[in-house]
Amino acid sequence: MRVTQNMMVNSSIRWIQKQTEKLNDISTVVAAGKEVNKPSDDPSAAGQILEDRATISKYAKYIATISETDTWIETANSTLEAVDSLLETAQDIIESSGSWDEDTYLEQLESIYEQVVDLANTKLNSSYLYGGDNALTAPYADEVEISGGTADSVVFALAGSAATVTIEITDSAGNVVRTLTVSGGSAGTNTVTWDGLDDSGILLADGTYDFTVSATDASGDAVAAYAAYRGDEGGKEVLIGENSTVTLNNDGSLFSDALSSLSQAITALKNSSYTDDLASSLSDALESAMTAITTEQVALSNVSSQLEVADTRLDNLTLALENEINTIEVGDTTTAAVKLEAQTTAREVTLETVASVLKMSNLSDYI
Amino acid sequence: MTTISSIMNTTLSALQTQEAAIAVTSSNIANVNTDGYTRQTVVISSTSSGTTASSKRVYDSFVIKQLCSAKETLGEYTAKAKYLDSIEVIFDESEGTGLSEALSDFWSAWQDLVDNPTGSSERSILASAADTMANYLNTMSSDLTEIQEGIDDDVVTTVAAINEDLEQIAALNQKIAAATAAGQDASTYQDSLDLLVEDLSSLVDISTYTNDSGQICIQLSDGKPLVDGDTCWSLSTTTNTTTGLKDVTWLDNQGNATVITATITGGELGGELEVRDETIVAYQEQLDTLAAAIIDAVNALHTTGYDLDGTAGVDFFTGTGAADIAVNTAILDDPELIAASSSADSTSDGSIATSIAELQDSLAMNGGTTTFGDYYSALVSQVGTDVATADSKYETQTDVVETYQNLRDSVSSVSLDEETTKLLMYQSAYTAAAKVMTALDEMMETLLDM
């Protein structure tokens, strides 16, 4: 083929461009420390990296959820343990009924009742632990709310059926503002509607009002009243993996039987109607309440170990994905460095060649 | 009968011929670096009264045709590679930021809400994560539209460049015809014409033929004439009422416009139209499909839920595609409207939030085979592949053009060494002729002195 100076010059320019371009590509890899710097560098790797990153961030979320759930379980566990030991004390008191000073014991049982209510109302991150799906409402509280001029119903629980129930509603200063008397009440949760009016028929201001309940049966004997469980069955679902959830029991009705028994003991003491038969039946009831709590603790520890397994698995998966990203995105830096060295040399050789081509003498130099 | 004066005439023609040959050589040397210059060779022929010299362009029309067609393909790939490179930036997630991460954050925020369905900070974070995700889709969609509109402007520029080439080609055709008729040298015009046709080829797909007068005639690939002799037609653009983008039209003698957008497939114009009307549209569609699927799936669940006040859930997202997806402004204003609960009575139930959080693993795309995240990753992969393909085709085509350019140069470009050699050859022939003239002069003197 006939070759002219022009062709050689054009080729020289093209070769310098090509070598410089290659050098630029390799130096980008070395400088950025990554082989895949934009999708077109390696389209399938770029897609894979994105998928892996999304998966890692998903796993990180699961891991965070698991750790939050662990906190929930720990709080629940210590709550249950405290209730359990309180109930044990209560059982001791009730069983030792032969030789007791009624006032002291009454005081102790009332305090235990209050503490169990407090524990049942334990909060974590501003929501109630044992409120079922009504985590913003205290599960056990003898209180009723008026909002926007409308009063909620009064909700309370009775240990047995009653003929007459008297509800005294008090304001924040402790003054009785309204007394509701209803005839008939059944064992368990009762609901009485309230119009929000005080005794003189005036609508009370919005706010929370406490109430106390006293009840008597047909023969005029006192019926024990206690705080009703205001939550529901609930069930706290936690996502701990792809389509894998664990459900934590947050049904606060767990404490109802204990509160009923404690209230019965307190009412009997107050009314001096305490009998050995009652003591033994209450002791049995407390025993079964404690068994329920222990069962719940076992269930929690099962969930806890399930979480631990999931946590370890997610940690391992995350590590594997990070390694994969490292392998495809970062590549082998040593190889890249060597390539850079080789490419620098290749470019120098090209430049030298071009220089000698351009310095090539013409026929006219010899004439 | 041979006379001294007839020999003198022959010698004179020899001197003139070598002079003319040296003139051609000097023109070649002078144009050694002229773009598109076709070298000329001297054709010396003998006549009854001595010799005569003429020049001829050294030219291979096959190679020129191949070069033009290679340039047409190169023009197309140049345009594609240029635009795709700027599109790729939109999908660049190499730093770990972008839509993919925004999507992950969005699902995470739902999971946070599952852990604490009544939490107001969880609700605000979710609303803003959703807003960020929607904004990413909006931005990507509008960035693509911006590039599309940029290409649309380029189409108008390219059409103007094509028209300019057509006018110049027609004008040169006229000059060539005139020069040929007058028996003058038209090679300068031929060189310019070749360059213009090469340039036109890189702009749009054309076919060419040379007519009997040595004029180049040009047609579009569908046979519509662009240049016939010294007559030229022109292209124009008109706004398509459906897409709002420019259609390319061909104007006939009466100035009636025919839309020819679909028939243009090569050259820069072809590349521009393909990226504008197919590539970008396809990416937009996929983003829209993704956005619409997220909108539908999230809304379908969200509207079955209940917010913190126990009111039935409103639409979480508004909009129908990537361009207009947005978080319902009511929710942005008041995140308590997020319907996490499946029951009006249970405010802290999170089962709707759970279902929505689980959407991230649901095979909701591509007819139930792909998750949202993977669908987007596949789109990024596809963009990457398209860019890599365009870049590598561009590289390859550059080499092809280089090869034909070399072939053309091999035939037509000037070699200084070659010209120097010829110069020496013509010079010594001239010297010899001059020597003959001197001898004849001496012979004449001898004759007169007799």
Burial of A25 (0-12, 13-18, 19+ CB in 10 A): middle
* Chain A CB within 8 Å of residue B411 CB: yes
Output Rg (C-alpha) for chain B, integer angstroms.
Answer: 37
How far A287 CA lies from chain B's nearest CA (Å)?
32
A367: chain B residues, CB-CB within 8 Å: 420, 424
Q: Do A46 and B381 touch (CB under 8 A)?
A: yes
User: What's the number of CA atoms in the CB half-sphere (13 Å) around residue B97?
Assistant: 4
β-pair partners for B237: B248
A135: chain B residues, CB-CB within 8 Å: 117-118, 347-348
- Note whether A295 and A1 are within 8 A (CB): no
B35: chain A residues, CB-CB within 8 Å: none
Q: Do B347 and A135 touch (CB under 8 A)?
A: yes
Window 112-131 of B: residues touching A by CB (8 A cutoff) are: 112, 114-119
3-state secondary structure of A208: strand
**Assigned token pair, A94:** 């009730």
What is the structure's pLDDT at A100? 62
Amino acid, res. B360: Q
CA dist A264 and A121 (Å) reads 21
3-state secondary structure of A249: coil
* Chain A CB within 8 Å of residue B214 CB: no
Tally of residues, chain A: 367
Strands B257-259 and B317-318: unpaired
* Chain B CB within 8 Å of residue A207 CB: no
Burial of A340 (0-12, 13-18, 19+ CB in 10 A): middle
Number of A/B CB contacts below 8 angstroms equals: 180
- Return the percentage of chain A with pLDDT > 90, whole number: 39
Is residue B47 within a helix (H) or strand (E), and if so which, with residue range?
Answer: strand B40-47
Domain extents in chain B: 1-32+414-450, 64-91+153-272+392-404, 99-143+279-384
Mutate to test the interface with B, among A8, A11, A56, A61 (most CBs of B within 10 A): A61
- Note whether B316 and B338 are within 8 A (CB): yes
Tally of residues, chain B: 450
* Chain B CB within 8 Å of residue A58 CB: yes
Q: Do A134 and B91 touch (CB under 8 A)?
A: no
The closest of A277, A159, A153 to A217, measured between CA atoms, is A159
**Assigned token pair, A306:** 């399930």
How far B407 CA lies from chain A's nearest CA (Å)?
9
A365: chain B residues, CB-CB within 8 Å: none
Collect all residues with Cβ–Cβ distance below 8 Å to B125 and sequence separation of at least 6: B109, B112
Q: What is the pLDDT of residues B176-186, one digit of tens each?
A: 889 888 888 88
Mutate to test the interface with A, among B123, B348, B423 (most CBs of A within 10 A): B348
Q: Do A134 and B346 touch (CB under 8 A)?
A: yes
ipTM for the whole complex: 0.73
C-alpha torsion A123→A125→A126→A127, nearest 10: -60
**Assigned token pair, B89:** 């930036």
pTM (predicted TM-score): 0.81
Q: Do A4 and B411 touch (CB under 8 A)?
A: no
The closest of B127, B198, B177, B196 to B408, measured between CA atoms, is B198
- Return the percentage of chain B with pLDDT > 70, whole number: 99
CA distances from A34 to A30, B47, B87, B430, B442 (A): 7, 75, 21, 69, 87
3-state secondary structure of B79: helix
Q: Do B348 and A133 touch (CB under 8 A)?
A: yes
Q: Do B387 and A242 touch (CB under 8 A)?
A: no
> Considering CB atoms only, which of B116, B117, B360 is closest to A58?
B360
CA distances from B17 to A192, A281, B424 (A): 129, 140, 14
Residue of B nearest to A238 (CA): B115
Q: What is the pLDDT of residues B192-244, one digit of tens each?
A: 999 999 999 999 999 999 887 778 899 998 899 999 988 999 999 999 999 89
Burial of A31 (0-12, 13-18, 19+ CB in 10 A): exposed
> Considering CB atoms only, which of B391, B413, B424 is closest to A6?
B413
CA dist A157 and A261 (Å) reads 12
- Tens of each residue's pLDDT in chain A, 367 residues: 888 888 888 888 888 999 999 999 889 888 888 888 888 888 888 888 888 888 998 899 899 989 989 999 999 999 999 999 999 999 988 887 666 677 788 888 999 999 999 999 998 887 888 988 877 788 998 888 888 888 888 999 999 899 999 999 998 888 899 999 988 889 999 999 988 888 888 898 998 999 999 999 888 888 999 999 988 888 888 888 887 888 888 888 889 999 999 999 898 888 888 888 888 899 999 999 999 999 999 999 999 999 999 999 999 999 999 998 888 888 777 888 899 999 999 999 999 988 988 888 888 888 8
> Considering CB atoms only, which of A47, A62, A238 is closest to B380?
A47
Window 57-86 of B: residues touching A by CB (8 A cutoff) are: none
A36 φ/ψ sector (left φ>0, alpha ψ -120 to 50, else beta):
beta
Higher local confidence (pLDDT), B164 or B117? B164
CA dist A101 and B404 (Å) reads 115
Window 348-377 of B: residues touching A by CB (8 A cutoff) are: 348-351, 354, 357-358, 360-361, 373-374, 376-377
The closest of B38, B64, B46 to B10, measured between CA atoms, is B46
Mutate to test the interface with B, among A50, A63, A69, A237 (most CBs of B within 10 A): A50
Q: Do B409 and A6 touch (CB under 8 A)?
A: yes
